[in-house]
Amino acid sequence: MTRVKIYSTGICPICQKAKGLFEKWGIPFAEVRIDLGRAAMREYSQVTNGARTVPQIVIDGRCIGGFTELAELHMEGALDALMEQARNGASR
């Protein structure tokens, strides 16, 4: 089971940057394109508590926010623990 999920659209350059970071870190992720269907948009709205921007990143069911929040977590060192947990979960 993938523990990282990125809600995105096909025309969002920041979504591409976020996905690129996870690829660089070797963290598997699932992408949910909210521009491709109503079911994905409903899921996005529920999981992100009504967020209006993409990307929105969810790790272990917890919405951490977008690219800015991802970068802040990384700069604070708090992201390392989340990434290690995600890495360990993906290898199980």
Please name each of the domains of the chain with its CATH number.
4-90 (3.40.30.10)
Predicted TM-score of the model (pTM): 0.86
In contact, 28 and 21? CB cutoff 8 Å: no
Q: pLDDT at position 7, please?
A: 98
Q: pLDDT at position 10, please?
A: 96
Q: pLDDT at position 86, please?
A: 55
Q: pLDDT at position 92, please?
A: 43
- Give the closest residue to 86 by CA, choosing from 12, 13, 37, 29: 29
Mean pLDDT for back-to-back runs of 10 residues, the chain (92 residues): 89 96 89 97 94 94 93 86 64 46
Neighbours of 40 (CB within 10 A): 15
